[in-house]
Structures are given as C-alpha cells and as structure tokens.
Amino acid sequence: GAVVSQHPSWVICKSGTSVKIECRSLDFQATTMFWYRQFPKQSLMLMATSNEGSKATYEQGVEKDKFLINHASLTLSTLTVTSAHPEDSSFYICSARRGYGQPQHFGDGTRLSIL
Amino acid sequence: GDSVTQMEGPVTLSEEAFLTINCTYTATGYPSLFWYVQYPGEGLQLLLKATKADDKGSNKGFEATYRKETTSFHLEKGSVQVSDSAVYFCALHPSQGGSEKLVFGKGMKLTVNP
C-alpha cells in the first residue's frame, strides 16, 4: 500500500514553455502533498507544502508564480513550472501523506531538462 | 534551526562488507528520525524509522538506533549486497512547531562491488 505515482518521469522541453508534473496517491487519500527539488549530488529541498482544497505554502526563496501548485483532490497534486528556463532543470520529487504525523510516501521523481 | 549531518561519501565497498553511515542531528525536543534510500533514477523509499530515544529501526538487514545522548542515528548493515548500491539519506521530522517539514541530510552514495 501507500503508492505514489509521479508523471511524467522525464521531460525535455524548450526554454519558455510551461511544464506540468502530476503527483497521484494511488491507494490512499492524501490530505497533504509535498514538492521537493533535488540538484545533482545534493539533498532534497522542500519547495512547498500543498493541502487539499487550499493554497500551497511555499518555502522561503521559492517563487510561487514560477512554481504553481494545485491540489484539487485528495489524490492529485500538480506542479507547473511556468516559462521554464535552463536553470529550472532539476529532479522534482513529490510525496504524499494521509494525515498529520503520518509518514510521507515518495513518488519516483521527474527529471526536467530545459534546453 | 533543525539540521541533519551525515557522511557524504561516496563510499565503495565490496560485497559482504560491513556498512556504517554516520548521522547526527540538531533539533529541539524529540524528533522522529528516518533513513531513506534512493535507487538510481527513482524517488525516495523509507528504509526505517525511530520515533523515540533508544528505539531501533530495522529493515532489509539495516539497523539504526535513536541515541538521544549523542544525537545520532547511525545506519548499519552487517553484510552489504550489490543491490544495496544507492544513495542514503538521514532525515528528521521535528517534534515541535507543528511543521510538516522533513529535514534531510545531504545523502551518501554507496556503491557495492561484487
């Protein structure tokens, strides 16, 4: 149980386009989802915390207009990288949890490459 | 603020060698402690956890004990396999402040050779 699916797993696109990444909890309802960014050989950096039906809470230094997060249902959250540029290239990972204090379950990540 | 410090590696071991990955933390109160593993090209998987002092987490032959006195949560395995090659992250979940935030160490890449 506790499977989190992330799609797409890999995307390459041109500079200036917007890219949407989906995060789904397949077998449980996730009241909260988290979005992380991981640079090569670095740890995970929390970008934002997303609660179903409310606005995401962004970490300091993360541009909310650049990284749009929508958590429209208890099983789906999306991260849209708007007007992506090469410096946005990274590995993006989502996680989901059932309720407060419950463990986070991670997706397999999305490798984003902006040309 | 809360932080996690772990061995960064990379580390290369031969199969059946003993593994220790050190992890120490700084936090107020009694955080929960975790080890996550990331296989190449994949997301993170929870390997084991401990929620209070002296708890021992174990899974797949890996063990770690929550040591409050030394603020440590070192990961050990008696005999590693090639399939254990991955990046290992130590993390904590704060006990205070209502934060949901997991605080990760920088990760350590382990390569096990046959």
- pLDDT tens for chain B, 114 residues long, are 888 999 888 999 999 999 999 999 999 888 999 999 999 878 888 999 999 999 999 999 999 999 999 999 999 999 999 999 999 999 998 876 556 678 899 899 999 999
A44 and B89 within 8 Å at the Cβ level: the answer is yes
Closest residue of chain B to A46, computed from CA coordinates: B101
Contacts A4 to B, Cβ<8 Å:
43
Share in percent of chain A as helix, strand, coil (round to 5) = 5, 50, 45
A106 and B45 within 8 Å at the Cβ level: the answer is yes
Residue A52 CB contacts under 8 Å (≥ 6 apart), including other chains: A30, A31, A32, A71, A72, A73, A74
Instruction: Check: CB of residue B86 under 8 Å from CB of residue B32.
Output: no
State residue B76's pLDDT score: 98
pLDDT band at A81 (very low <50, low <70, confident <90, very high): very high
CB crowding B44-57: b at 16 or more within 10 Å, else e: bebbbbbeeeebeb
Give the integer Cα–Cα distance in Å for B25 and A107: 25
State yes or no: pLDDT of A2 exceeds 70. Answer: no
If you count them, how many residues does chain A have? Answer: 115
* Three-point CA angle B45, A104, A37, nearest 5°: 75
State yes or no: pLDDT of A35 exceeds 90. Answer: yes
Closest residue of chain B to A35, computed from CA coordinates: B101
Measured CB to CB, residues of chain A less than 8 Å from chain B are 4, 6, 32, 34, 41-44, 46, 49, 93, 95, 97, 100, 103-109, 111
Contacts B106 to A, Cβ<8 Å:
42-43
Rg (CA), chain B: 14
Query: Could you tell me the CA-to-CA distances from A12 to A17, A70, B25 in Å, in that order?
Result: 10, 22, 37
B101 and A46 within 8 Å at the Cβ level: the answer is yes
Give the integer Cα–Cα distance in Å for A96 and A56: 14
Give the integer Cα–Cα distance in Å for B65 and B75: 8
